[in-house]
């Protein structure tokens, strides 16, 4: 399977997915730590991919998303943004709304 197909499959199979450095329990950078904490505070399950485990995926996702940095949060297959955007959305309550709506839709 080609790497772009892998990315598409991950996005289709996971309504909420965070591409990050490390894991939510052991983030490998401050931006990934802050983003995963904001996402966990929403109280819904989400998938994550440690981009440090796969150099090919890490490079291909930058091209796929036209977004040069990590973390990258996708909800329902769409790039929501990186750390700064996620933290702003978290403070405004918009992140929790989007995450809960995606989780509810996935259950239906």
**What is the residue whose two structure tokens read 């998303």?**
65
Q: Where are the domains of the chain?
A: 3-107
Where does 3-107 sit in CATH, by number? Answer: 3.40.30.10
What is d(CA 102, CA 99) in angstroms, rounded to the nearest whole number?
5
pLDDT digits (tens, 9 = 90+) for 10-31: 999 999 999 999 999 999 999 9
Q: Decide: pTM greater than 0.85.
A: yes
- The CA-to-CA distance between both ends of the chain, in Å, stands at 29
How many other C-beta atoms are found inside a 10 Å radius of the C-beta of residue 70? 22
pLDDT digits (tens, 9 = 90+) for 91-108: 999 999 999 999 999 887
Q: Quick one: pLDDT at residue 107?
A: 85
**What is the residue whose two structure tokens read 């490079």?**
59
Q: Quick one: pLDDT at residue 81?
A: 96
- Residue 29 annotated as lining a ligand binding site: yes
**What is the residue whose two structure tokens read 């790039």?**
79
pLDDT digits (tens, 9 = 90+) for 48-80: 999 999 999 999 999 999 999 999 999 999 999
């Amino acid at each position: 399977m080609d790497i772009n197909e892998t990315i598409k499959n991950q996005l289709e199979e996971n309504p909420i997915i965070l591409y990050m450095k490390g894991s939510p329990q052991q983030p490998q950078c401050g931006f990934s730590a802050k983003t995963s904490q904001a996402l966990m505070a929403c109280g819904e399950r989400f998938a994550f991919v440690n981009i440090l485990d796969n150099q090919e995926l890490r490079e291909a996702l930058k091209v796929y998303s036209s977004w040069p940095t990590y973390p990258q949060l996708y909800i329902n297959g769409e790039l929501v943004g990186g750390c700064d955007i996620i933290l702003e959305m978290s403070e405004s309550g918009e992140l929790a709304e989007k995450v809960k709506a995606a989780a509810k839709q996935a259950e239906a």
